[in-house]
Structure 1
């Protein structure tokens, strides 16, 4: 994620992303806010004291907070301890899963919007996708809460793109955007 944020150019900050809520700069700030919330869950038991949109949007802030998050979650006992996540009380490991999913999907959003490679490490994506399919099956979805309806993936979609599709992100419209951004580099 740090490399992804580091490769966002200033002239890309106002570009739209597959996440309709955010442009590139705001999505970058949201990724940093997400790490801040993970830290708050570990240290305070709840993310409520941290905004989901950080004032910063740079890679160095993300890297610093990610290192702090690793330290905050270093005690394995915290994984089974009940914590409060935005969706309610759950074991720490479930809260981490939710934020891992969010980081992977929003990382895909950011990569696609800025013309960067969008596939994350399959060893991280695949177990996250299995959990996402189990916890958020199509049958219980209401449009937009907490994700849009499942989008059928392209045949050639990789694991991260498929996870984004499961979260309601359509990749078809963004394929042209990827090609256009590569030509602008």
Structure 2
């Protein structure tokens, strides 16, 4: 048994935050560009739903290689429902305390469940900013989630191991007094 804290409370907060962003997206915003260079808002929503589905399968010990990186075919008005269904499944699977202490195969790494869930907490925090930035809803973001992400991300994504072709690009310089989400976005290689 581990003494690491339970990551689920922060994971839930990150899902609450991104869920609010997903619900707020209007159909006329789906083609807006996001700071993720490969995604407009629609594709980013499809990626978020995909990550939730994959994380539920990984937590259940099931291969998720058939789940595409971006879910398509969701009606313009159906993103909130798709997110909610995927979230419900993730929370059902990860409610089992045993999943936290089991090794979980994420395809990009095999990690203890606690570590995996913590990593995805930060992914959803970052994607919340991406959606907020693309739709003009920045003021609604939880600064504590960004602060936690900035504390932990150097272990997951050290700046010296990045390139323009990776998940995180090189760190983008921002003023020292930039707000916490601007610093987080810049750390992950986004151009705030």
Q: Is TM > 0.5 for Structure 1 vs Structure 2? A: yes
| TM-score between the two structures when normalised by the length of structure 1 | 0.82
Aligned to 1:75: 96
Q: Is the 8 A contact 1:36 1:50 kept in 2?
A: yes
Superposed CA RMSD in Å reads 1.9
Shift of the alpha carbon at 1:46? 4.2
Q: Is the 8 A contact 1:118 1:160 kept in 2?
A: no
Q: Is the 8 A contact 2:122 2:145 kept in 1?
A: no
Which moved further from structure 2: 6-15 or 154-163?
Answer: 154-163
1:8 corresponds to which of 16, 19, 25: 25
Question: Does the residue aligned with 2:104 lie in a helix, a strand or coil?
Answer: strand
Is 1:32 matched up with 2:53? no
Shift of the alpha carbon at 1:155? 4.0
- 1:29-88 deviation per Cα after TM superposition (whole angstroms, max 9, x unaligned): 111111111111111344323222123361122122212211110122211211111312
Aligned to 1:183: none
Aligned to 1:84: 105
Flag the structure with more relative contact order, 1 or 2, with Cα contacts below 8 A and sequence separation at least 6: 2
Distance 2:139 2:117 in 1: 21
Is 1:99 matched up with 2:94? no
Question: Does the residue aligned with 2:174 lie in a helix, a strand or coil?
Answer: coil
Distance 2:167 2:33 in 1: 20
Q: What is the aligned length?
A: 171
